[in-house]
Structure 1
Amino acid sequence: MLLERFRKRLRPHARSLAVVAGVAGGLYLAGTYLLDRLKDIQAKVTEERASRESLRRRFLQNQEDCTFTLLALLPTLSAQILEEMDVEDLTHQLQQLSKPKPEIAITSSSTVAMEDSIVSLASTESSSDVELLSSSSSSSSSAPPAPPAPASSTTTTTTSSGEEVEAEGEGEKTGEVGVGEAEGEPKEVGRTQSDVGASWSSEFQEMDKGKENLSESQQSVLSIASTVESSTVSSPPAAPLPPSAATLLAPPKTKMQLWNELKLLTFTRTLTALYTLTLLTLQTRIQLNLLGRHSYVRSVKELETTLGLGEGPQGEGEVSPEDEMVYLSFSWWLMNVGWREVAERVERAVKEVMGPVSLKKTLNQTEFEALLLEIRRKVEFDLGGDSIPRPHSFLPHLLPPTPSTLAHLLQQTHLNALPSSPTAPIRLLLSETSTYLSSPSFESCLSSSLAHAFGSLVDALGERRMLGGVTVDQQGGRFEEIVETKPKRLAEVLAEVAKFGRESLEDGGMLGGGNRVVDSLADLPELASFSAVVYSSYLGLDEGF
Structure 2
Amino acid sequence: MEFFLFNKSFWRRHKKKILVSLGVAGTGYFLYKLYDAHKHRLAELESELAVRRENDESIKAQMQEHFETIQRIASTTTLPRAMNFLSTRINEELNLSVLTERLKQGKDVLTLPEKLELWDKLKVLSFTKLVTSIWSVTMLSLFVRVQVNILGRHLYIDIARCQESSPLLEEASLIDQDDEQIFLARADFLASHGLPALVFNMQAAASEVLKSKQLKDVFDHLILHETIVQVLDTFMSMGRPHHWMEYLLPEDAKLPSLTASQSGDNLIISDVPKFDQLMTETHTVLSSNEFTNVVDVSLKTLVNAIVRDIFVDQSGAGSHSSGMALVKLVPRVAQMSQLLLDEPSSNQFVQTIKNIQDVELFFTILYANALTV
Map 1:434-453; keep pairs closer than 5 Å: 434-453=283-302
3-state SS in 1 of match to 2:218: coil
| 1: CA distance, partners of 2:289 / 2:323 | 38
TM superposition shift of 1:349: 0.8
User: Do the aligned residues in 1 keep the contact of 2:366 with 2:372 (CA within 8 Å)?
Assistant: no
Map 1:345-356; keep pairs closer than 5 Å: 345-356=201-212
Question: Structure 1 residues 539 and 261 mapped into 2: Cα distance closer, same or farther (>3 Å)?
Answer: closer
- 1:371 partnered with 2:301: no
Q: What is the RMSD of the two structures over their aligned residues, measured on CA atoms?
A: 2.9
Question: Structure 1 residues 455 and 538 mapped into 2: Cα distance closer, same or farther (>3 Å)?
Answer: same
- 1:516 partnered with 2:326: no
TM superposition shift of 1:78: 0.6
Decide which structure has greater strand share: 1
- 1:488 partnered with 2:344: no
TM superposition shift of 1:21: 6.7
3-state SS in 1 of match to 2:41: helix
| 2: CA distance, partners of 1:434 / 1:507 | 27
Map 1:498-513; keep pairs closer than 5 Å: 498-508=334-344, 512=345
Map 1:23-102; keep pairs closer than 5 Å: 27-68=35-76, 69-98=78-107
TM superposition shift of 1:347: 0.4
| 1: CA distance, partners of 2:297 / 2:45 | 48
Map 1:339-488; keep pairs closer than 5 Å: 339-382=195-238, 391-401=241-251, 424-464=273-313, 468-469=319-320, 485-488=321-324
Normalising by structure 1, we get a TM-score of: 0.56
3-state SS in 1 of match to 2:170: coil
Higher relative CO (Cα under 8 Å, sequence separation at least 6) belongs to: 2
Residue 254 (structure 1) aligned to one of 114, 127, 144: 114
Considering only CA atoms, is the larger Rg found in Structure 1 or Structure 2? 1
TM superposition shift of 1:429: 2.2
User: Do the aligned residues in 2 keep the contact of 1:467 with 1:487 (CA within 8 Å)?
Assistant: no
TM superposition shift of 1:29: 4.3
User: Do the aligned residues in 1 keep the contact of 2:285 with 2:372 (CA within 8 Å)?
Assistant: no
Question: Structure 1 residues 394 and 533 mapped into 2: Cα distance closer, same or farther (>3 Å)?
Answer: farther
TM superposition shift of 1:427: 2.4
Q: Which amino acid aligns with 1:66?
A: A
3-state SS in 2 of match to 1:318: coil
Question: Structure 1 residues 502 and 467 mapped into 2: Cα distance closer, same or farther (>3 Å)?
Answer: same
| 2: CA distance, partners of 1:19 / 1:424 | 64
- Structure 1: which 5+ residue stretches go unaligned? 1-10, 99-177, 185-252, 384-389, 404-422, 470-484
- Structure 2: which 5+ residue stretches go unaligned? 1-17, 254-271
Question: Structure 1 residues 58 and 540 mapped into 2: Cα distance closer, same or farther (>3 Å)?
Answer: closer
TM superposition shift of 1:301: 0.6
3-state SS in 1 of match to 2:310: helix
> Percent identity among equivalent residues?
22
| 2: CA distance, partners of 1:316 / 1:31 | 42
User: Do the aligned residues in 1 keep the contact of 2:138 with 2:299 (CA within 8 Å)?
Assistant: yes
Normalising by structure 2, we get a TM-score of: 0.79
TM superposition shift of 1:366: 2.2
- 1:537 partnered with 2:373: no
TM superposition shift of 1:13: 9.0
User: Do the aligned residues in 2 keep the contact of 1:364 with 1:467 (CA within 8 Å)?
Assistant: no
- 1:282 partnered with 2:153: no
User: Do the aligned residues in 1 keep the contact of 2:85 with 2:188 (CA within 8 Å)?
Assistant: no
| 2: CA distance, partners of 1:313 / 1:430 | 22
Structure 2 residue aligned with 1:136? none
3-state SS in 1 of match to 2:167: coil
